[in-house]
C-alpha cells in the first residue's frame, strides 16, 4: 500500500489529482514568498475565520469610556496589519471617529516597523500612534525620543482594564508608554482531532501526560509532533514554554534580561525536558532533518491535511496558527487546541502582542490611546474574530467561537503570570535573526539533543556577545 | 549596473572634447554633460563614497572605528563562511553555466529544431530571481510528494531497493519483545515446541497495512511445532485494547518475516500469513524469535537538498538553470560569426568532429567565452536573492554569501559599519573583473 501511494504521488500531475496538488503548491509558494518578505514573524495574524456576519448592524456598543469631542482633528495610526486584520481594526477606528468626530487614517507599515517609524520621524511626519510589536521596540522608540508618555486618561483606562503585568511591559523606566491592544497566546498546542480519536488519546494537562499522549498517537501509527524548525522562533517558543513552566516566572525574567547565565542549571533542566520530545526522531515529522526544512505554515498545514494519516498529529503554535489551517478543517471540531501542558507546577502562558505608542503628543492622540485601552474598542474587534485582547474587561463571550474563547480565557486567567516572548525581549542578533544566535543554536540542538552542555555554552557565549554583559 | 553607466557616458565625452576648439563649445559640452554627471554623482559616486566613509565608523555611526570593521571581515565566522561560499560560487557557477551554454550552442547549430530548443533553454531568463527561487524551493523540497528532485531520486532508489511494509512498527508497553540492535526486535525468552508465541507490535496505521492483512487470530498450539501470531496490537479508536492479546478487529502483519535465532545463528524462519499466524519447525526449539530489521526499514526519504552539506551546490544548480540559456545565446551569436571555411578546412584535412570542436571552434570562440564567463562572474559575486529565498532558515548560514551577509548585518543585526565594510570589499572584488571586461569591450570596439 505504501508502495502504491509513492507511485501515485510520483505521477501526481494527473488531471484528476491536479487540483489539490497545485493548490498546495500555490499555497506553499505564497507562504514562501510571504516568509521571504515579511521578515519579522512576531506580528503574524489576520485570521479570516470571522464567521459572524454582523456587518450591517451598527449595534450600539456599551459606552464605558469618556472621550472628548475632537471635530476637525485628524490622526494617523501606523501598523503592519494587512488583509482582514487591517479591515477589522479600521472598524474600531471608525467607531472612534463616530464617537469623537475626529478623522483617523490607517498608515500601512512594513516590518520591522521601528525602522519604518525611524524614516517617518526623520522625514518630520511621524504617525500620531504606532503599533509596536516588541517591548524592545518600545524601549528603542523611547530612547530615541520618538515615543511620548501616556496621559492621565489613558493611564486610568489602562489600570482599570489591564492586569499589572500587561501595564508593566508597556512601561519604560517606570513611565507608561504602551497600550497593549492586541495579544498573542503562544502557549498552545493544536491537534488533529481525528487522529486523537483514532488513537484513543486525550488532551494532556501535564508534561508526562503529553509524553503519554504522544506515545499513544505514535502507537496508532501517526507521528506525534510537527515542528516548523526551518524558522528558529518556533523552537524558541518551545523552549520558552518549557522554561517558564519549569523554572518559574522569576527565573524567566532573569534569563530574559540575561541576569542569570544560560549555563544555569535551570536551562539544563529545560533542555533535558525538551530532549524528551526532540530526542526521539520517530516522534517528529520527517525526523530532525525534515523538521529543519519545514517552515512554520507548512508545519501547521501538514497536521491538518492527509485525512486519517496526516504527517503529524500535533503542532505547538500560537493562536495565529489558525490562518494556516486548511478551510476544510473546522476549527473547534476537526482542529482543536489545548494549552501547553504544565512542566512544573503551573502551565505556561507565553505571549506576544502589539502596543499602541504615542509618537505625536496631542489631545487627539491621547484620546485615541485611551480608546484603544478601553474594553469597547477591544470588544468590537474580538467579535470579528482572529484577534485576542489582553484587556481583562472584554467579556469572554465576545469571541466568536469556543476555541477563541478558550485561548482568550487562558490568556486572561494567567493574570500577571504570563510572560512576554523571551526571544522578542532579547537583542535581535540573539533572539531574532535567522541562522544566528538562539534560533540557530536551538536548531543545532534539535539535530543533536544529547549535547546539552555544549548547547548551553554556545547560548551563553552568543548571549553575552549580544547583550554586551 | 556600474559598468553599464560607465560605458554609456564615456563615448559621448570622447568625440565632444576632440571637436571642441573654443571655450564656448566646451561650456556647451559641460552643460550637456551636467545632468549625467549629477545623476551619476548622486546615485553612484556619492553612495559609494558614503559607504566607504561609513565603513570606518562604529555601529552607531558616531565613533571612528578605524579598521575594526574590516578586521571583523576576516574574523567573524559568518562572514568567513560567506567568503568561502562566494569563492565556490565564482569558481563553479560561471564555468559550468558557460560550459553548458557552449555545448548547447554547438549542438543546437546542427539540430533541425535548434531555434525552438534555444528558446526553451533561454526561457528561464524571463523569470525573476525571486520567482526562480520560489520554484526551486519547491523543487528541492524534502518531501518526495512535493519536491521534484527528491521524487525522482526516491523513485530511482526504490526501484532498486524497495522499502518495507512496516516502517514505524515498534513494541508497545510491556512487550515480550526488545530491540536487538540495527532495528530488529527479539523475544526476551526462548520458545519451546508445542507453545504458541505472541509477537505484538504497534505503530502501523491501519491504512498503511498490507492489502492482504486480515483480522489477526491467535495461533493454535501444534505438537512438535512452534506456532504464533504477529499482529498490530492496536485498535483504531480504542488504543491497545487488551494489552498483548489478540482482540477482534486487530490486523495481522501479513508478510512479516520471523526468524528463530540460536546462539546468533538463524536456525529456522517463517513468513506470517494474512492473519498474522506463522509456524516454525521443531528445529527452532529453544531459540529466540527475531523480527529482522528488513521488516522495518524506513522508506527512503531522498536527499537533504537544502541541508547544510548540499545547499550551496543545490542553489548553484538553480542559478545554472537560469543562466545557461544566457551563455548559450551569447555563444551562439559568437558561433555564427565563426568563418565556416575554417571548420570545413579542418574537416577536409581529416579532423574528427571532436578535434574540430576542441582545436578550431573553442579557440575561435575564446574571446566570447571569456566575456560570458566574466559577465557571469560579476553577476555571481553579487548573488543574493536565490540564496535568500531558497535556503531555509536552518541552513541559511551554511549557504551564506557576502551579499546576504551584508543584508543581514545591515538590516537585521543593525551593524551598518560592518555591512558597509562588506560592501566596500565586494566593490574591490568586482573592480578587477569589471576592468577586464571594459578593456576587452573597448578592444572589440576598436577592432
H or E element that contains A225: strand A225-226
Enter the ipTM: 0.72
Q: Is the pTM of this model over 0.80?
A: no
CB-based contact, B393 to chain A, within 8 Å: yes
Cell numbers given for B189: 525468552
Q: Which of A197, A230, A282 sits opposite B394 (nearest CB)?
A: A230
Q: Verify that A356 and A341 share a domain, yes or no.
A: no
Residue B389 maps to a domain: yes
B279 part of a folded domain? yes
Residue numbers of the domain that contains A253: 188-348+426-467
Measured from the Cβ of residue A393, the count of other Cβ atoms closer than 10 Å reads 17
How far is the alpha carbon of B272 from chain A, nearest alpha carbon, in Å? 17
A74-79 and A103-108: which strand pairing?
Answer: parallel
Q: How confident is the model at residue B29 (pLDDT cuts 50, 70, 90)?
A: confident
Residue B242 at interface with chain A, using a CB cutoff of 8 Å: no
Answer whether A317's CB lies under 8 Å from A234's CB.
yes
B164 within domain boundaries: no
Same domain, B222 and B108: no
Residue A46 domain-assigned?
Answer: no
Give B 115-154 residues with CB within 8 A of chain A.
Answer: 130, 133-135, 137-138, 141-146, 151, 154
Residue A28: inside a domain: no
In a domain, A174, yes or no: yes
Q: Which CATH number goes with the domain that contains B361?
A: 1.10.3720.10
- Given B260, B279, B296, the domain boundary residue is B296
> Among partner residues B168, B205, B408, which is closest to A282 by beta-carbon distance?
B168
What pLDDT was estimated at residue A11?
35
For residue B128, which residues of chain A lie inside 8 Å, CB to CB?
Answer: none
User: In this structure, what DSSP letter does residue A397 have?
Assistant: G
* In a shared domain, residues B440 and B311: yes
CATH number at residue A245: 3.40.190.10
B155-189: string of b/e by CB count within 10 Å (b at 16+)? Answer: bebbeeeebbbbbbbbbbeebbbeebeebbbbbee
Domain count, chain A: 2
Please indicate whether residue A48 or residue B443 has the higher confidence score (pLDDT).
B443
Of the three residues B268, B296, B324, the one that is the final residue of a domain is: B296
Same domain, B417 and B313: yes
| B178/A105 Cα distance (integer angstroms) | 68
Residues B330 and B433 in one domain: yes
Domain identity same for B222 and B324: no
Q: How many domains does chain B have?
A: 3
Q: Do residue A167 and residue A224 come from a single domain?
A: no
Asked, for residue B169, whether it belongs to a domain, the answer is: no
Residues 6+ apart with CB under 8 A from A396: A405, A408, A409, A412
Separation in Å, CA B105 to CA B121, B325, B332, B352, B380: 10, 9, 5, 19, 22
Nearest Cβ partner for A198 among B137, B203, B237 = B237
| pLDDT tens digits along B342-363 | 888 998 998 898 898 899 989 9
Give a yes or no: residue A9 inside a domain: no
**What is the 3 state secondary structure string of B275-311?**
CCEEEECHHHCCCEEEECHHHHCCCCCCCCCCCCCCH
CB A441 within 8 A of CB A434: no
Residues A390 and A365 in one domain: yes
H-helix segments, A126-260: 135-143, 152-161, 164-168, 193-199, 207-219, 232-247, 249-256
Per-residue pLDDT of chain A (469 residues; tens, 9 = 90+): 333 333 333 333 333 333 334 444 444 444 444 444 443 333 343 334 443 434 434 444 567 788 888 888 999 999 988 888 899 999 999 999 999 999 999 999 876 787 788 778 878 889 999 999 888 788 888 988 899 999 999 999 999 999 998 998 889 889 999 999 999 899 999 999 999 998 888 999 999 999 999 999 998 889 999 999 988 889 999 999 999 999 999 999 999 989 999 999 999 999 999 999 999 988 999 888 889 988 888 899 999 998 888 999 999 998 888 888 888 888 888 999 999 999 988 889 999 888 999 999 999 999 999 999 999 999 999 998 889 999 999 999 999 888 889 889 888 988 888 899 998 888 777 887 777 789 889 999 999 999 999 999 999 999 998 888 7
Question: Residue B139's pLDDT band (boundaries 50, 70, 90)?
Answer: very high
User: Using one digit for the tens of pLDDT, what is the confidence trace for B258-317?
Assistant: 888 888 888 888 888 888 888 888 888 888 888 888 888 777 778 888 888 899 999 999
Asked whether residue A179 falls in the same domain as residue A197, the answer is no
My answer on whether B249 and B345 are in the same domain is no
Q: Are residues A405 and A390 in the same domain?
A: yes
Residues B262 and B373 in one domain: no
Determine the Cα–Cα distance for residues A77 and A359; give it in Å rounded to an integer: 10
Residue range of the domain that includes B383 = 55-153+305-446
Q: Is A2 in Cβ contact with B208 (below 8 Å)?
A: yes
CA–CA distance, A325 with A11 (Å, rounded to integer): 26
CB A169, CB A140: distance < 8 Å: no
Q: Are residues A413 and A430 in the same domain?
A: no
- Is residue B130 assigned to a domain? yes
Query: Is A86 a member of any domain?
Result: yes
Q: Which residues does B10 contact at the CB level (< 8 Å), separation at least 6? A: none
Which chain A residue has its CA at the smallest distance from B409's CA? A429
pLDDT above 50 (res B49): yes
B17 burial (CB, 10 Å; 0-12 / 13-18 / 19+) is: exposed
Q: Which of A1, A197, A443 sits opposite B394 (nearest CB)?
A: A443
Asked whether the beta carbons of residue B408 and residue A29 sit closer than 8 angstroms, the reply is no
Amino acid at each position: 500500500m505504501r508502495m502504491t501511494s509513492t507511485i501515485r504521488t510520483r505521477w501526481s500531475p494527473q488531471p484528476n489529482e491536479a487540483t489539490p496538488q497545485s493548490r498546495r503548491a500555490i499555497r506553499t509558494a505564497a507562504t514562501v514568498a510571504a516568509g521571504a518578505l515579511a521578515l519579522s514573524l512576531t506580528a503574524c495574524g489576520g485570521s479570516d475565520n470571522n464567521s459572524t456576519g454582523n456587518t450591517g448592524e451598527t449595534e450600539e456598543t456599551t459606552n464605558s469610556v469618556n472621550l472628548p469631542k475632537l471635530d476637525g482633528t485628524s490622526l494617523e495610526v501606523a501598523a503592519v496589519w494587512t488583509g482582514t486584520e487591517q479591515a477589522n481594526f479600521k472598524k474600531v477606528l471608525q467607531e472612534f471617529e463616530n464617537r469623537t468626530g475626529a478623522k483617523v487614517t490607517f498608515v500601512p507599515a512594513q516590518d520591522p516597523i521601528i525602522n519604518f517609524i525611524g524614516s517617518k520621524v526623520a522625514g518630520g511626519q511621524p504617525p500620531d500612534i504606532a503599533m509596536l510589536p516588541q517591548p524592545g521596540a518600545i524601549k528603542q522608540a523611547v530612547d530615541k525620543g520618538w515615543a511620548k508618555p501616556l496621559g492621565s486618561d489613558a493611564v486610568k483606562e489602562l489600570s482599570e482594564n489591564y492586569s499589572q503585568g500587561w501595564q508593566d511591559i508597556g512601561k519604560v523606566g517606570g513611565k507608561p508608554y504602551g497600550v497593549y491592544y492586541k495579544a498573542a497566546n503562544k502557549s498552545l498546542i493544536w491537534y488533529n482531532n481525528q487522529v486523537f480519536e483514532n488513537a484513543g488519546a486525550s488532551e494532556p494537562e501535564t508534561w508526562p501526560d503529553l509524553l503519554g499522549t504522544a506515545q499513544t498517537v505514535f502507537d496508532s501509527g501517526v507521528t506525534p509532533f510537527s515542528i516548523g524548525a526551518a524558522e528558529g522562533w518556533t523552537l524558541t517558543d518551545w523552549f520558552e514554554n518549557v522554561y517558564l513552566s519549569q523554572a518559574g516566572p522569576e527565573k524567566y525574567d532573569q534569563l530574559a534580561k540575561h541576569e542569570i547565565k544560560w549555563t544555569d542549571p535551570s536551562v539544563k533542566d529545560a533542555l533535558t525536558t525538551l530532549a524528551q520530545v526532540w530526542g526521539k526522531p520517530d516522534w517528529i515529522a520527517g525526523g530532525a532533518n525534515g523538521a529543519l526544512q519545514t517552515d512554520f505554515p507548512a508545519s501547521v498545514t501538514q497536521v491538518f491535511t492527509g485525512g486519517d494519516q496526516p504527517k503529524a498529529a500535533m503542532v505547538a503554535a500560537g493562536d495565529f496558527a489558525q490562518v494556516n489551517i486548511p478551510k476544510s478543517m473546522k476549527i473547534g471540531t476537526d482542529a482543536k487546541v489545548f494549552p501547553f501542558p504544565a512542566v512544573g507546577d503551573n502551565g505556561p502562558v507565553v505571549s506576544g502582542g502589539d502596543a499602541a505608542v504615542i509618537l505625536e503628543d496631542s489631545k487627539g492622540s491621547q484620546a485615541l490611546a485611551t480608546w484603544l485601552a478601553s474594553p469597547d474598542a477591544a470588544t468590537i474587534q474580538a467579535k470579528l474574530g482572529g484577534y485576542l485582547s489582553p484587556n481583562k474587561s472584554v467579556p469572554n463571550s465576545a469571541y466568536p467561537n469556543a476555541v477563541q474563547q478558550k485561548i482568550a480565557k487562558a490568556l486572561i486567567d494567567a493574570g500577571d503570570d504570563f510572560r512576554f516572548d523571551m526571544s522578542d525581549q532579547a537583542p535581535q542578533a540573539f533572539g531574532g535573526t535567522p541562522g544566528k544566535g538562539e534560533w540557530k543554536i536551538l536548531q543545532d540542538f534539535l539535530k543533536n539533543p544529547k549535547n546539552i552542555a555544549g548547547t548551553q555554552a554556545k547560548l551563553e557565549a552568543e548571549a553575552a556577545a549580544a547583550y554586551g554583559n | 549596473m556600474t559598468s553599464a553607466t560607465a560605458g554609456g557616458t564615456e563615448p559621448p565625452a570622447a568625440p565632444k572634447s576632440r571637436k571642441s576648439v573654443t571655450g564656448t563649445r566646451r561650456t556647451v559640452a559641460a552643460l550637456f554633460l551636467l545632468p549625467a554627471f549629477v545623476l551619476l554623482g548622486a546615485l553612484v559616486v556619492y553612495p559609494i563614497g558614503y559607504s566607504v566613509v561609513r565603513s570606518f565608523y562604529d555601529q552607531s555611526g558616531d565613533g571612528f572605528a578605524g579598521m575594526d570593521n574590516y578586521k571583523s571581515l576576516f574574523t567573524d565566522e559568518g562572514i568567513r563562511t560567506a567568503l568561502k561560499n562566494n569563492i565556490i560560487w565564482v569558481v563553479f557557477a560561471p564555468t559550468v553555466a558557460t560550459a553548458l551554454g557552449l555545448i548547447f550552442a554547438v549542438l543546437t547549430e546542427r539540430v533541425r529544431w535548434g531555434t525552438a530548443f534555444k528558446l526553451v533553454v533561454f526561457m528561464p531568463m524571463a523569470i525573476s530571481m525571486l520567482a526562480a527561487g520560489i520554484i526551486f524551493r519547491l523543487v528541492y523540497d524534502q518531501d518526495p510528494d512535493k519536491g521534484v528532485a527528491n521524487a525522482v531520486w526516491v523513485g530511482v532508489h526504490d526501484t532498486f531497493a524497495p522499502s518495507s511494509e512496516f516502517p514505524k512498527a515498534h513494541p508497545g508497553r510491556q512487550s515480550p519483545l526488545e530491540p536487538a540492535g540495527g532495528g530488529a526486535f527479539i523475544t526476551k525468552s526462548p520458545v519451546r515446541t508445542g507453545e504458541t508465541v505472541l509477537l505484538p507490535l504497534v505503530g502501523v496505521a491501519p491504512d498503511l497495512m498490507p492489502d492482504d492483512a486480515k483480522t489477526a487470530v491467535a495461533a493454535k498450539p501444534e505438537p512438535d511445532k512452534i506456532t504464533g501470531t504477529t499482529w498490530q496490537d492496536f485498535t483504531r479508536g480504542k488504543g491497545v485494547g487488551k494489552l498483548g492479546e489478540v482482540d477482534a478487529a486487530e490486523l495481522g502483519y501479513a508478510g512479516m518475516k520471523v526468524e528463530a535465532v540460536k546462539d546468533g545463528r538463524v536456525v529456522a524462519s517463517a513468513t506470517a500469513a494474512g492473519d498474522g499466524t506463522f509456524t516454525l519447525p521443531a528445529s527452532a526449539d529453544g531459540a529466540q524469535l527475531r523480527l529482522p530489521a528488513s521488516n522495518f526499514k524506513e522508506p527512503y526519504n531522498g536527499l537533504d537538498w537544502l541541508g547544510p552539506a548540499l545547499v550551496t551546490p543545490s542553489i548553484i544548480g538553480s542559478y545554472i538553470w537560469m543562466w545557461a540559456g544566457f551563455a548559450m545565446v551569447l555563444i551562439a551569436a559568437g558561433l555564427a560569426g565563426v568563418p565556416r571555411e575554417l571548420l570545413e578546412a579542418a574537416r577536409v584535412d581529416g579532423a574528427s568532429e571532436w578535434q574540430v570542436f576542441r582545436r578550431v571552434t573553442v579557440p575561435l570562440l575564446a574571446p566570447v567565452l571569456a566575456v560570458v564567463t566574466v559577465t557571469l562572474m560579476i553577476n555571481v559575486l553579487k548573488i543574493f536573492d536565490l540564496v535568500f529565498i531558497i535556503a531555509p532558515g536552518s541552513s541559511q548560514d551554511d549557504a551564506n554569501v557576502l551579499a546576504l551577509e551584508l543584508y543581514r548585518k545591515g538590516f537585521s543585526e543593525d551593524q551598518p559599519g560592518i555591512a558597509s565594510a562588506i560592501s566596500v570589499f565586494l566593490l574591490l572584488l568586482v573592480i578587477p573583473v569589471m576592468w577586464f571586461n571594459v578593456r576587452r569591450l573597448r578592444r572589440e570596439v576598436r577592432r
